[in-house]
Amino acid sequence: MDLKYSAEYEAFREEVKAFLENNWPLKGEEAKLRRHQQQALFRQRAVEVGYLYRSVPRQFGGSEQPADVLKGQIIREEFGRVRAPVELPGVGTAMLVPTLLQCGSDWQKEYFIPKTLSGEYLWAQGYSEPNAGSDLASVKTRAELKDGKWLINGQKIWSTLAQYARFMFVMVRSEPNAEPRHAGLSYILVDLKQPGVTIRPLKQITGGEEFCEVFFDNAETPEDWIVGKPGEGWAVSKATLSHERSALGGASGSVSLFEKLVALAKSVEINGEPAIVDPTIRRRLAVLDGYVSSHLYSSYRQLSMSVNQQDPGLVTSMNKLISTNIGHDVARLARDLIGDDLMLSPPQDRKKEDGNEKWINQFIGSLGIAIAGGTSNIQRNVIAERGLGLPRE
Amino acid sequence: MNFLLSQEQVEIQRAIAGFLSKSCPSTTLHEIYDREEPYEPSIWQGLIELGVGALIVPEAFGGLGMEMIDLALISEVLGANAAPVPLLGHALVTLAIMHGGSDDQKANWLPKLAAGEVVATVAFDEGGQTWLPEQWRLSSSTRLSGRKRFVPHGMQANLILVGLSGGGFALVDASAEGLSRCAQDGIDRTRPVAEFVFDQVVADPLPGAEGLAEKVRDAALVLLAADSFGGASRAVESAVSYATIREQFGQPIGRFQGLKHQLVNTAVEVEPSRGLYWFAAHAFDHIAGKAEHAAALAKAHLCDRYLQTARDTVEAHGGIGYTWECDVQIYVKRAMFNFAFMGQPAVHFDRAADLAGW
Ligand SMILES: Cc1cc2nc3c(=O)[nH]c(=O)nc-3n(C[C@H](O)[C@H](O)[C@H](O)COP(=O)(O)OP(=O)(O)OC[C@H]3O[C@@H](n4cnc5c(N)ncnc54)[C@H](O)[C@@H]3O)c2cc1C
């Protein structure tokens, strides 16, 4: 057992540090560019030296590095330290690109991946429907092949940022008579900028508009914009490449959320004194630290095991639920720390001068995390049946 | 970074588990549990033969020279099997002598501890939750007078490490004149406790060393955390396996989603915290700046989780879980001991908050 990195990895860390020293923030004339241009320029350089999009081949705009979870971790640590831009967030880079790499055809990879990585193509995920949420296999949106094109009719819902997206990867029913139900599904790509598509943003509980309803009314997509074969949609959507991101993403998110909570406790007052000196608050923070630290060391263990081709077992199915639970706990403590600011509306765009009401976004947003990407009850079903081996319902 | 057990460590855990499943299966455990004096020397002797007693003793004194993580991994297995053995006291006395004993004390005791020739224990609490070194009041001198309670395996031990005011220690022979020992009616019969009254008892003080008492305290916290992880994991496993065989309404109860989710919730409370005690044990020997905090947090979190988990698993067993004959009762009580011994979780959460530098 050793929590230090070997000399080889420490040397790699020095390389990363030196790169960052020279490249972020940008200098001279480049520092005058607009922020997103600066970020794009930096990302391009980070890809060239092999630090971002490591599992994506060079020909598709990635840096094509051998899989190495520890290097991935060092890159995240060092980029995080100087707040350098990391891989673009969103379902395009996180879900579509890995899916295409594993199941897509050559032209699909060439056509979609480079521009997705550069941020030119934004994607939306079209899985959920009004009557198909947790029960994804009951998707009804129809796709029929007619004159060399897919004709799409139906409705998707809760599709995050679809109003800004150029394309959507959509789960459709292409084989209406197939049994079991999920054998009738296909995974197709659709250009959202066409007359047959109507997008209506939905106002969320936070007051913002981040997810949308998407209506398909004889929308079209070319026959070869299907990933995998007709009827393989279920399997394609489950395909995930062995990702450097792995378990650590979740745990390091929990750690930084907890650090922000401690900072909040230092900045607000209870009875005229910093809340952090209040014995009850200290106790509650320490109790939460027990869960957060457990999650962190558990992620170290999972990371080390996957580097050594071992199976961490049961705990891998638990990571989302653990992060969600920590989010709920943070929300409860933040609620008590911000006092009457609990009665304020949350700010819609993040600004430096935001007050404690910004925590309302976490207080409510922690519920979104509990629902999106598989609800906590669905997580429990999976842990029970696949993790603990309890009988299926 | 390699936050992983070595092959050797995995094998040691397997060997101890294998030995216990033969020497102390559930039926034997219950039989020992119900004895007037709930102790079976042959089990501890078997562990000594496997090297448990010698594990952390330096090689120069006939030991194996291993680390806290190795001991903690064994504690996990003992916890998982609710093993009725005096490891905790043995380990703490060994550590105290290793780090704070005189050359004579080391030469005299360490080889005997390694070979299991003495059963050793610790006497810390003086009543009213006075587990921590700064709370000990027994005055340091070569003649001890006063009272100590909740001494684990106090009636079975022959070498006692007594905590003294100012965080000092002295060794006392269990047969010394003026020492009266009285078995307490302890809830955890896998670690029976005794009350000691000292009246001018001859003692052999340890010369001590900077931070010795804190080191002994932290070792206790790490070992209790590891034992709790093992016990809690086993409690979850037994509830899960019961849910797959017990049938009601014509099907295994584990198919009912209500119970399924209760079991998942207990498993999610336990499984991720394995690394918390690993880290605390690793920090004990290797990361001085984090050792105290990690030990406090691990003890608080894991002993808290263990007790709640054990209670939940009683409920998951239904009526059988409420009986003396069911294994889970033994785990509930071991969890109660772990919860209180060396200070309740609340005490160590508060210490952890201070040590975090908030
Ligand atoms: C912030 C946010 C962003 C989202 N973004 C996207 C997106 O980009 N694209 C997309 O396709 N979808 C998106 N979703 C939708 C999300 O995937 C679904 O909301 C989710 O899968 C739950 O489906 P549902 O809303 O139909 O709820 P339901 O499935 O109706 O669930 C309602 C309740 O019933 C429980 N429940 C359901 N089935 C079971 C069961 N078998 N056992 C026990 N309990 C059960 C659930 O746990 C939940 O508590 C997003 C959701 C949110 C909140």
pLDDT per residue of chain B (358 residues) written in tens, 0 to 9: 789 999 999 999 999 999 999 999 999 999 999 999 999 999 999 999 999 999 999 999 999 999 999 999 999 999 999 999 999 999 999 999 999 999 999 999 999 999 999 999 999 999 999 999 999 999 977 899 999 999 999 999 999 999 999 999 999 999 999 999 999 999 999 999 999 999 999 999 999 999 999 999 999 999 999 999 999 999 999 999 999 999 999 999 999 999 999 999 999 999 999 999 999 999 999 999 999 999 999 999 999 999 999 999 999 999 999 999 999 999 999 999 999 999 999 999 999 999 999 9
Q: Given the structure tokens 């959320």, which residue do they identify?
A: A257
Length of chain B: 358
Pocket test for ligand 1, best of A160, A371, A382 (most atoms within 8 A of CB): A371
| Cβ contact A388–B264 (<8 Å) | yes
A123-231 CATH choice from 2.40.50.110, 2.30.30.90, 2.40.110.10, 2.60.40.10: 2.40.110.10
Task: List Cα–Cα distances, A53 to A48, A99, A120, B237, B254, in angstroms.
Answer: 10, 14, 16, 40, 43
Task: Give the nearest chain B residue to A279 (CA atoms).
Answer: B350
Those residues whose C-beta lies under 8 Å from the C-beta of residue B25, and which sit 6 or more positions away, are: none
Q: Which helix (H) or strand (E) holds B9?
A: helix B7-23
Q: Domain B212-355 sits in which CATH superfamily?
A: Butyryl-CoA Dehydrogenase, subunit A, domain 3 (1.20.140.10)
Share of chain A above pLDDT 90, in %: 84
- Which residue is associated with the tokens 């900072």? A263
* Cross-chain Cβ contact B276/A293 below 8 Å: yes
- Determine the distance separating the centroid of ligand 1 and the alpha carbon of A128, expressed in angstroms: 8
Give bridge partners of residue A153 from the DSSP assignment. Answer: A142, A217
What sign does the CA torsion over A214, A216, A222, A225 have? positive
Closest Cα of chain A to B353: distance in Å? 5
Domain segments of chain B as ranges: 7-115, 120-205, 212-355
Give the CATH superfamily of B7-115: Acyl-CoA dehydrogenase/oxidase, N-terminal domain (1.10.540.10)
Residue B93, beta-bridge partner list? none
- Which atom of ligand 1 is nearest to A160's Cα? 8
Rounded Cα gap, residues B178 and B278, in angstroms: 42
Contact A391 B261 (CB under 8 A): no
Q: Are B28 and B39 in contact (CB under 8 A)?
A: no
> How much distance in Å is there from the Cα of A266 to the middle of ligand 1?
36
pLDDT band at A240 (very low <50, low <70, confident <90, very high): low
Q: Which of A95, A375, A379, A383 to mutate to test the pocket of ligand 1 (most atoms within 8 A of CB)?
A: A375
Pocket of ligand 1 (CB under 6 A): A 125-128, 133-134, 158-160, 211, 368, 371-372, 375, 377-378, 381
Q: Kindly report the number of other CB atoms within 10 A of residue A58's CB atom.
A: 13
pTM assigned to the model: 0.95
Identify whether A87 is a catalytic site residue.
no
pLDDT of residue A111: 98
Residue A97 tokens, joined:
């690109």
Q: Which tokens go with B47?
A: 């562990």
The tens digit of pLDDT for each residue in B301-341 reads 999 999 999 999 999 999 999 999 999 999 999 999 999 99
Closest CA to A371 of A78, A82, A158: A158
Residue closest via CA to ligand 1's atom 25 equals A133
Residue closest by Cα to atom 1 of ligand 1: A368
CATH number of the structural domain B120-205:
2.40.110.10
Mean pLDDT, rounded, for A196-208: 96
Q: Do A283 and B353 touch (CB under 8 A)?
A: yes
Structure tokens belonging to residue B123: 């006497």
Q: Which residue of A has its CA nearest to B354?
A: A282
Task: Write down the pLDDT at residue A249.
Answer: 57
Query: Does A58 have pLDDT greater than 60?
Result: yes
| Each residue's pLDDT tens digit, A61-112 | 999 999 888 898 899 889 999 999 999 989 999 999 999 999 999 999 999 9
Atom of ligand 1 nearest to the CA of A376: 47
Instruction: Please state the φ and ψ torsions of residue A181, each to the nearest 5 degrees.
Output: -55, -40
For A60-96, the DSSP string reads GTS------HHHHHHHHHHHHHTT---SPPSHIIIII
State the distance from the centre of ligand 1 to the C-alpha of A334, rounded, in angstroms.
25
Average pLDDT over residues A306-324: 90
- Under a CB-based contact definition with an 8 Å cutoff, are residues A314 and A389 in contact? no
A163: Cβ contacts below 8 Å, ≥ 6 apart: A199, A201, A209, A212
Question: Does position A262 have pLDDT exceeding 60, yes or no?
Answer: yes
Q: Would the CB atoms of A1 and B254 count as touching at under 8 Å?
A: no
Using a CB-CB cut-off of 8 Å, the residues of chain A touching B352 are: 286, 289-290
* Residue pairs between chains A and B whose CB atoms are closer than 8 Å: 154
Question: What CATH number belongs to A249-387?
Answer: 1.20.140.10
Please give the number of the atom of ligand 1 that sits closest to the Cα of A126.
Answer: 11
* A25 Cα to chain B: minimum distance (Å): 29
* Euclidean distance between CA atoms B334 and B38, whole angstroms: 14
Query: From CA A279, how far away is CA A273, in angstroms rounded?
Result: 12
pLDDT at A241 (0 to 100): 45
Two tokens, residue A288: 């939460």
pLDDT category of residue A248 using cuts at 50, 70 and 90: low
Name the 3-class secondary structure at A213.
strand
User: ipTM value of the model?
Assistant: 0.96
pLDDT at A186 over 70: yes
Residues contacting B28, CB < 8 A, separation 6+? B40
Domain ranges of chain A: 7-81, 123-231, 249-387
User: Which DSSP symbol is given to A150?
Assistant: E
Q: Are the beta carbons of B76 and B229 closer than 8 angstroms? A: yes
Whether residue A245 has pLDDT greater than 70: no
- C-alpha distances (whole Å) from A154 to each of A140, A214, A219 are 7, 9, 9
Mean pLDDT value across chain A: 93
Q: How confident is the model at residue B77, as a pLDDT? A: 98
Single out the catalytic residue among A10, A244, A273, A353.
Answer: A244
Does an H or E element contain A156, and which?
Answer: strand A149-160
pLDDT of residue A314: 87
Helix A35-48, helix A7-23: angle, nearest 10: 140
Q: Do A380 and B2 touch (CB under 8 A)?
A: no
Residue B198 CB: number of other CB atoms within 10 A?
A: 21
